[in-house]
Amino acid sequence: MRDRFWKMLGVAGITLAVTTQAQAAWQFVPGDSEITAHVSGQGQRGPMERTYHVSDLQGTIDDDGRFEMPLRLEQTDLLGKQSGLGGLLSGLSSDSAMVTLSTKVNPAWLSNLQPGDSTTRNVTLTASGNHFERSEQVPLTLERLDQQYYHLTLAEPISVDTQQLMKLDNAQTVLSLLGYQRLDNSIPIEFNARLIER
């Protein structure tokens, strides 16, 4: 009976340890985290160039370094960018992510930094949606601001392939509502985020 008790306690301890590992070790501060996209293309009256933002990022990095960040239409400023557009696009919005960004980082890259220090590392960033998945190497700069906060940014802007982008659900509809007939081949993307250690 006593042996069985200790075995059960050991299993519970292992389960607790595994569960703890899956929890977020670092979490984005939504109000200080956004993606900026510079969109160029052709409209009915000629070339168009506008800047859009994806705000309130909800990313996390767990103890094993798994990074995941879902992006939803509601997080973009498309809903209020032009008069009357919000009402049209709101019918396309949903609770599901348009695209999810994921990667793997070494937790030591963050935990070993001293306040004021930074490091730049190449990571494989994967963007996945209902009809596509694409991965590429991106330079990620990690800076420790103080004992609790970190700053994440791309060391240089990355470019999104617009052919892949158009595979997203409702992409053609949103493009037309924004006034674009077609987009240039790529969209420069910038990323800035603040992390808090949990």
- Which residue, 186, 81, 96, 92, is CA-closest to 136? 186
- Identify the helix (H) or strand (E) that includes residue 4: helix 2-21
118-147 pLDDT, tens digit per residue, is 999 999 999 887 777 888 899 999 999 999
pTM score, two decimals? Answer: 0.74
77-126 pLDDT, tens digit per residue, is 876 544 345 454 455 455 567 789 999 999 999 999 999 999 999 999 99
Inter-CA distances, 8 with 19, 111, 185, 194, Å: 16, 34, 59, 41
